[in-house]
Amino acid sequence: MVPVRSTKAVFKEDDLLYGKLRPYLNKVYLAELDGICSTDILVFPKAENLSYRYLSYRFLSEDFVRYANANSTGVQHPRIKFESIAKFPIPLPPSTSSAASSAKLKNSPPNTKRAREALADVPSLIDQFRQSVLAAAFRGDLTAEWREQNPDVESASELLERIRTQTNYVSGQETPCKASGKRLPAKWVWVRVDNVGKVSLGRQRSPKNHHGPNMRPYIRAANITWQGWNLSDVKEMNFDERDFQTFKLKPGDVLINEGSGSADEVGKPAIWDGEIPDCCFQNTLVSVRPFEKMSKYLYFVFLHAALSKAFVEETRGVNIHHIGKQGLAQFLIPLPPIAEQIEIVDFLEEHFKALKLVEEQYKSSQELSEALNQSILAKAFRGELVPQDPNDEPAAVFLERIRAEREQLGKTKSKRCSSRK
């Protein structure tokens, strides 16, 4: 069993391909056609006397994956070498038992395979459902019945007028915007974000502020996840009193990831609830401080914009997508009456709570499926998966025959080389 190793390795149908680059040390494929692969894949040419399907299952077993991870070398791109793989002990059954075990692993239990295939679709289905619910919420579909039952609530236009009266802040655009062309329910309006909250960009990091008498914690884009805040690694820098008052966070502030090299990460939102006292924020985040109590509503609006890539359409930059302070301030959002916002948030929180339960059940089922799969593999390599036939050729004889055939093949090749000379 000697692999093909070159810059571009040629493989044939039924050859075994193994990905040697970490963290993908459990990627095995039995080639279904001829082709060429990169040097990050080891190619094991088909052997007449050894079931490579049996070998592929051995490479997928938990103990081999642990071994491969422990014996991979390299700093930036750790890999496992063939020499290390060759030292890993593989229980070799008689050829008939090997084939029987391979067939058993491939075909049974069929329910386990079908379950794994079904589980693989769950994450994308959850994402699709989440986006569908958000889209329905901001079209007004989720609260259509509620509007019929509550016709006399304060309209969004009246809400905006009240905001203008009660605050000294004047946004860049004082009238509701109708430029989007998308129809909204009665009493809703399209507005820029700076119509409903003060938009601020965090403070830029500077070497001169790495030390000083007023070191304070600050959050950055790395602290926002799709599940909320990750505050396990919070940095500090020097904020004098003036900067502290400018960049200090308050409970209810809604922050988004200002930019990213990945379009999937732009605009990822989170609500600050005062998790860290006297905490500021960096310019990798943009904050919105709502003029009214609508933090949760804005969070879900921004979440919808991020997941649907609406923020990306407004970004600028070459290698990194930036929405920036101005981009967020001018970003259009649908604004319903405050009372309807509360209903929308309640609907979404209920749906998202259900989705979280589904995700937890999915992870649990995935773990159980993997445990069952590893249990079946372990049985196979202990010889417990198929009945042992006492008439089978002993594995030692089988192995000796393979060695003899390899030696004969080597002699044949040597003779050919001599005759050519």
What pLDDT does 397 receive? 59
Q: Is 1 inside a domain boundary?
A: no
* 3-state SS assignment for residue 280: strand
The residue out of 278, 311, 336 marking a domain boundary is 336
The residue out of 336, 359, 385 marking a domain boundary is 336
Cβ atoms of 192 and 329 within 8 Å: the answer is: yes
Q: Is 48 inside a domain boundary?
A: yes
Nearest CA-CA partner of 346 in 296, 394, 381: 296
Residue 368, φ and ψ in degrees, nearest 5: -65, -40
Cβ atoms of 321 and 259 within 8 Å: the answer is: yes
Same domain, 96 and 201: no
The residue out of 278, 309, 336 marking a domain boundary is 336
What pLDDT does 31 receive? 84
Q: Is 349 inside a domain boundary?
A: no
Q: Is 82 inside a domain boundary?
A: yes
CB atoms within 10 A of CB 382: 9
What pLDDT does 103 receive? 52
Question: Which helix (H) or strand (E) element contains residue 236?
Answer: strand 235-238
Same domain, 161 and 209: yes
Same domain, 243 and 381: no
Same domain, 54 and 201: no
CB atoms within 10 A of CB 141: 13
Q: What is the pTM of this model?
A: 0.63
How many structural domains are present in the chain? 2
Distances (CA, A) of 236 to 220, 240, 279, 385: 11, 13, 9, 58
Distance between CA 75 and CA 201 in Å, rounded? Answer: 37
Same domain, 289 and 169: yes
Tokens of residue 209, six digits = 């502020």
Tokens of residue 103, six digits = 């067939």
Same domain, 252 and 315: yes
Q: Is 195 inside a domain boundary?
A: yes
Same domain, 385 and 252: no
**CATH for 94:** 3.90.220.20
Distances (CA, A) of 313 to 80, 266, 283, 304: 42, 10, 21, 13
Q: Is 341 inside a domain boundary?
A: no
Same domain, 316 and 388: no
Q: Is 274 left (phi over 0), alpha (psi -120 to 50) or beta?
A: left
What is the residue-level pLDDT of the chain in tens, covering all 421 positions? 555 554 467 888 888 888 877 666 667 888 888 888 877 888 888 766 666 677 777 777 777 888 888 888 876 678 888 888 888 877 665 554 445 444 555 554 444 556 556 566 667 788 888 899 999 999 999 999 999 999 999 999 999 999 888 876 544 444 444 444 578 999 999 999 999 999 999 999 888 888 889 999 999 999 999 989 999 999 999 999 999 999 999 999 999 998 877 777 889 999 999 999 999 999 999 999 999 999 999 999 999 999 998 888 766 666 678 888 999 999 999 999 999 999 999 999 998 888 888 777 766 666 655 655 656 555 555 555 555 555 555 555 555 666 666 566 556 545 544 554 4
Q: Is 149 inside a domain boundary?
A: no
Q: Is 176 inside a domain boundary?
A: yes
Same domain, 84 and 37: yes
What pLDDT does 173 receive? 43
What pLDDT does 263 receive? 75
Starting at the edge strand that comes first in sequence, how are the strands of the sheet with 215-219 ordered?
235-238, 215-219, 280-281
What pLDDT does 174 receive? 41
Same domain, 86 and 227: no
Same domain, 303 and 203: yes
Distance between CA 161 and CA 136 in Å, rounded? Answer: 27
Distance between CA 196 and CA 335 in Å, rounded? Answer: 9
Cβ atoms of 348 and 141 within 8 Å: the answer is: no
What pLDDT does 171 receive? 47
Same domain, 74 and 174: no
Which residues form the domain of 322?
154-336
